[in-house]
Amino acid sequence: MIETKLFLVRHGESSCTVRKIVGGVKGCTGLSELGKLQVGALAERITQTKEFGIVDAIYSSILPRAIETGQILIPSLDANLVLLKQCDLCELHPGIADGLDWQEADKEFGLKDFFHDPNRPLSPHGESWAVFLDRVRDSLESLVKTHLGQNIVVATHGGMIDGSLIQFLQLPYYGRRANLRSSNASITEWNITDDKWRLVRYNDTAHLKDSLKTQQH
């Protein structure tokens, strides 16, 4: 049996979260100062524990907050690693709401309808929750096939992480769905053997002191 280890790391607190901006490619401006400290604490932990083992590849989405997270982690893993960026690892694509503040986006596009209808895009030209979840499944399965038997780190987003649980644990994604809330700079680990996904840990933030934790929404 060939075992592949997939470590999903949520980015640190983002500037767009602090500013309450819809953070797609237009709205995302990277990590906040607190976010950098959060990921720094994770990097320090990994340096000490070596718990990821020998990392063969590190990926991130193309959004600045994930890219910065990956770049901070690389020295704690292997300075020779090159950060590989993929759009398929992004948070749900928001469409034309990208860059608006959330209150304005809600007024313009009725976001409550989005959260109650899995087939409704967040805004025009954006993704629906159902389409996004299919992307989560396809992108992570593709990574595993590419790096069969290896250890992979992905600097990504709460939606990707929570979506992985919904897809691979076969949780409901509409109606009374699970209320998952991945924390900033958290670790979620999957072991994959013979196409079977085993959740090893979810939302591990043992490296974050109280002063580095943020309220999750």
Q: Indicate if the alpha-carbon torsion angle 21, 22, 23, 28 is positive or negative.
A: negative
Q: At 217, is the pLDDT very low, low, confident or very high (cuts 50, 70, 90)?
A: very low
CB of 12 closer than 8 Å to CB of 95: no
Q: At 37, is the pLDDT very low, low, confident or very high (cuts 50, 70, 90)?
A: very high
pLDDT on residue 175: 53
CA distance 123 to 7: 31
Q: How many residues does the chain have?
A: 217
* Percent of the chain with pLDDT strictly greater than 90: 85
pLDDT on residue 167: 94
pLDDT on residue 163: 94
Average pLDDT over residues 3-32: 97
pLDDT on residue 1: 86
Closest CA to 168 of 140, 146, 201: 140
Spell out the domains of the chain, with CATH numbers in brackets. 3-19+31-93+128-206 (3.40.50.1240)
Q: At 213, is the pLDDT very low, low, confident or very high (cuts 50, 70, 90)?
A: confident
CB of 123 closer than 8 Å to CB of 97: yes
pLDDT on residue 181: 86
For residue range 96-152, what is the model confidence (pLDDT) as tens digits? 999 999 999 999 998 877 777 889 999 999 999 999 999 999 999 999 999 999 999
